[in-house]
Amino acid sequence: MSLKLAIKKTLTHFHFTFCSAQIMPPVNEMMMFKLCEVFSESIPMAVIQLKNVLEVGGDVDWIVVGAFLVSIMFVAEAVSYMTYMKDISEESRSTGKIFYGFMPLSGHRMHVVKISLLCMSFSCCTAKSLEIVVLLQVGGPFLAAQVLGADLGIYLIYKFARNDFRYWIPLPRGTSLIASFALRVMVKIVTDFTGFLHARHPFEMGGFYWFINMIMTQVGVFGALMVKQEFGWREGEGEVVVLPEEERVLKDEDYLKLAVLNFALWLISMAGLYIASEKKFNHTFYSLVTGKQFCRKLFETDQAMTIMEIFNCHRR
Amino acid sequence: MFRSSFIKNAQHEFFKPLLLAVGKELNTTATWHKLALSVGVSLASMIDVASDVYTISYYHRIGKHATANLMTAFVLLCIFLQMMLVVAIHHKNRRRMVLELLGTITFTKPAFNKFRVLTNASIDGHEVSE
C-alpha cells in the first residue's frame, strides 16, 4: 500500500513539475468571468470615455462623466474584490499556503489593505487610460498600438525566455498554445490597467514582472506627456475634431497635474499595501519564481490537503 | 492571551472543534445577507452596462457615430467572451451550461458566481476546461 502511494506520489511529482493543470473552483470561475468583463468592456470604455471627457468643450453632459467614473470604479472594485476573495478563500489558504495569506483577516490592517487595493486599481486604470489617450492625441491609434504592442512583446519574450509561457489551465490538445497566448495577453492588459494584485502569482506574471509592470504604468504616463510636449496634437482627420485649447474644459497643463496627483495616490496605496499586509508574504510582491518552480514548491510542502488536491484535481 | 487559550485547550477539548464547526457553518450557510450582496453585484453590473448604453446613445446623438459603434462593439465582445468562457467551463453538463448562458445574457450570472463563492459551493466535477 505504501509502495503504491510512493509510486503515485512520484508520478504526481513528475506531472506537477512538468505539466500544470487544474479544475475550476467557483472562485476561479468568478475571477475569469470578471476578468472577461474588465478586459473587454470596462477598460476600453474607460479609455474611450476618458478621451471624450478630456476633449469635451463648454457644455458637459455630467451623466457621461459619471459613466466614466462608474467604469473606473467598477474596474477598481472588481479587481480588488477578486484579489481579496482569492486570497482569503478556504481553498486558497488550505492548498496554496506558500502564496495566499497576505491579506490580514481582521483589524485596521485589513481595512488599510482593502482601501489600498481599491486606490491602487483606481490609480493604475487612470494612469494607463491617460497614457493611451495622450498617445492617441499625439500619434493616433497607430502610435498607441505600437507602444502597447512593444510592452506586450517584452512581456511575452520574458515568459518564453523563462520557459513559463504555457498557461496552467488544462485545455484540449492542440489549443494549449493559442489559449496560453490569449490568456497571457488578457492578464497582461488587465494588469496594466488595474494593477491586478493576483497577477503577481507565479502562474500569471510572477511577482518581479508584476512590480516592474506597475512602475512602467506610472512612468508611461509621464513619458507620454513628454512626447506630447515635444510633438503636440496630431491633425484632425475624419471624425476627429479637436477643439481649440481655450474651448476645452481641461487644458493641456491640467494633464500633468492629474498625472502627478494620480502618481501620489499610487505611491500612498503601494506603501499602505506593503506596510499593512502580512509580512511573511511581502516577498510575493517581487519574487522571481516561475509557475513550474511554484508547483514544485507547493508539492514539497507535503501537506495532506495539498496532496489530496493534486490527486483529485490534476488529471494529466 | 496565550495562558487563557492554553487553559481552554487543556480543560475543554471540545472548544477548538466547536469553533471550527461554527466557522465552517458560517462560511457555507446561505443567508439573506449573502443573497443581498450577490444581488448587489448583479445590480452593479447592470448599472455599468446601463451607463454604457446611455453613453453610446449620447455619442450617436452628438454625431460621433464611430465612437458609439466602437463602444457597442466592446459591449458585444464582452458578452461573447463571457459566453465562450461559460461553454469552456460547463460544456460537460449541458443543462448547467444553458442555465449559465441564460444568466450571462441577462447579466444575472455575477450574482450566481458571488453567491457560490460566499457559500463555498462545492464543485460538481464537470467544471473542467479539459
Q: Between A5 and B85, whose confidence is greater?
A: B85
pLDDT in tens, B105-127: 888 888 888 888 888 777 766 66
pLDDT in tens, B40-78: 888 888 888 888 888 899 888 888 888 899 999 999 999
| DSSP character at residue A104 | -
Q: Do A40 and B74 touch (CB under 8 A)?
A: yes
Contact B83, A33 (CB under 8 A): no
**What chain A residue is nearest to B128 in terms of C-alpha separation?**
A23
Q: Specify the 3-state DSSP secondary structure of A302.
A: coil
Q: Does residue A169 sit at the B interface (CB-CB below 8 Å)?
A: yes
User: Is the predicted pLDDT of residue B103 greater than 50, yes or no?
Assistant: yes
**What chain B residue is nearest to A182 in terms of C-alpha separation?**
B81
In this structure, what are the phi and psi dihedrals at residue A172, rounded to the nearest 5 degrees? -60, 150
pLDDT in tens, A52-64: 888 776 677 778 8
Distance from CA of A24 to the nearest CA of B (A): 6
Question: What does the DSSP assignment read for B40-65?
Answer: HHHHHHHHHHHHHHHHHHHHHHTT-H
Q: Do A29 and B113 touch (CB under 8 A)?
A: yes
**What chain A residue is nearest to B90 in terms of C-alpha separation?**
A24
Distance from CA of A57 to the nearest CA of B (A): 12
Burial A72-90 (b: 16+ CB within 10 A, else e): bbbbbbbbbbbbbbbbbbe
Q: Do A37 and B74 touch (CB under 8 A)?
A: no
Q: Determine the residue among A48, A93, A168 to mutate to test chain B binding: the one whose Cβ has the most chain B Cβ atoms within 10 Å.
A: A48
Count CA atoms closer than 13 A to A144's CA, side-chain side.
Answer: 19
Distance from CA of A159 to the nearest CA of B (A): 23
Residues of B with CB under 8 A from a CB of A: 27, 44-45, 47-48, 51-52, 54-55, 58-59, 64-67, 70-71, 74-75, 77-78, 81-82, 85, 89, 109-110, 113-114, 116-117, 120-121, 123, 125, 127-130
Residue owning grid cell 489600498: A116
CB pairs < 8 Å spanning A and B: 110
Burial A224-260 (b: 16+ CB within 10 A, else e): bbebbeeeeeeeeeeeeeeeeeeebeeebeebeebbe
Q: Does residue A32 sit at the B interface (CB-CB below 8 Å)?
A: yes
Q: Do A239 and B65 touch (CB under 8 A)?
A: yes
Question: How far is Cα A300 from Cα A311, in angstroms, rounded to an integer?
Answer: 14
Nearest Cα to Cα of residue B83 among B99, B67, B62, B66: B99
Distance from CA of B82 to the nearest CA of A (A): 6
**What chain B residue is nearest to A40 in terms of C-alpha separation?**
B78
Interface of A with B in 216-275 (CB under 8 A): 238-239
Question: What does the DSSP assignment read for A100-118?
Answer: S--S-SSHHHHHHHHHHHH
Q: Which of B65, B71, B78 sits opposite A37 (nearest CB)?
A: B78
pLDDT in tens, A10-48: 555 444 444 444 567 788 888 888 888 888 888 888 888
Q: Do A26 and B117 touch (CB under 8 A)?
A: yes
User: Is the predicted pLDDT of residue A315 greater than 60, yes or no?
Assistant: no
CB atoms within 10 A of CB B121: 16
pLDDT in tens, B2-44: 555 555 566 677 777 888 788 777 777 888 888 898 888 888 8
pLDDT in tens, A165-224: 888 776 667 777 888 898 899 889 889 998 888 899 998 899 999 999 999 999 999 999
pLDDT in tens, A126-142: 999 999 999 988 888 88
All residues of chain B having their beta carbon less than 8 Å from the beta carbon of residue A44 are 70-71, 74
Helix axis angle, A62-88 to A176-194, nearest 10° = 120
Contact A315, B92 (CB under 8 A): no
Q: Do A30 and B66 touch (CB under 8 A)?
A: no
Q: Determine the pLDDT at residue B114.
A: 86
Angle, CA of B75, B80 and B84, to the nearest 5°: 150
| DSSP character at residue B30 | -
Question: How far is Cα B103 from Cα B86, in angstroms, rounded to an integer?
Answer: 10
User: Is the predicted pLDDT of residue A110 greater than 70, yes or no?
Assistant: yes
Contact A40, B77 (CB under 8 A): yes
Q: Does residue A40 sit at the B interface (CB-CB below 8 Å)?
A: yes
All residues of chain A having their beta carbon less than 8 Å from the beta carbon of residue B125 are 23
| DSSP character at residue B91 | T
Q: Determine the pLDDT at residue A253.
A: 79
Please state the rounded mean pLDDT for residues B80-91: 88
Largest CA distance in chain B: 77
pLDDT in tens, A144-179: 999 999 999 999 999 999 988 888 776 667 777 888
Contact B38, B119 (CB under 8 A): no
Q: Do A36 and B78 touch (CB under 8 A)?
A: yes
Please state the rounded mean pLDDT for residues B85-107: 88
Joined grid coordinates for residue A238: 475624419
